Structure 1
Amino acid sequence: MKSRISTSPIGAGLGAGTAARPLPHELIGRLPPEAYRHCVLGVEQTAALLNFSVPQLRRFYREKKMPTPLRLGERKLGWKLGVLIDYLQAVERGEWTPTPEPADISMPGSEETAA
């Protein structure tokens, strides 16, 4: 049976005179550096960037040995690329210290009033 998976590049076969669209990684190179510092990487991408396995990455963030992840959904975590770059540079210089957990913020009216 013949495979239906295309191995041609994106934009191939669009017809004569039709310009192919740039690939996402080509577009990233055109962005100013401050733009992609805000890109969010998932667990697998972050592990690959840091050269960790996924279990090692999870252990590091649970033990607070790396920046705290953003909660992207009920079960999805991510890190901003800029935060990870800063983390790698600080570790390389020997200056990284864990960020303290955010203080608990009590909701107005949640304090018990003394009678």
Structure 2
Amino acid sequence: MTINANGGDVVSIEELTPEQKLQVIKMIEEKTDRSENRVLAAIADLKSEISAVNRKIDGIRSELKSEISAVNRKVDGLAAGITDVDVSVSNRMNVHTLIVAALTVAVVFSVLSQ
């Protein structure tokens, strides 16, 4: 195995002194640590972005629940109005039926009294 040392010289690991090998190991560890730190920082950024997205989703969910509640209230109001109209139409029909019945009775009594 060879390594690039001293700004470009390629040497075999076997040619290195124990001290140089230790330096190479330390250098590799430092680069690994820096890479690991970059990865950890990227993970932290992603977690932060995910949290922000989750907060937005929660806000949208809350808005939708409010909108659905408002629509449900309007539907309930319309249903109550329709019930009122049904009762009103029903009452009008009953009054109409009573008037027709009263006129019928009046005509029958009028005919019978003649």
**Structure whose CA Rg is larger:** 2
More helix by share: 2
Normalization by structure 2: what TM-score? 0.16
TM-score (norm 1): 0.16
Q: Structure with the greater relative contact order (CA < 8 A, sep ≥ 6): 1 or 2?
A: 1
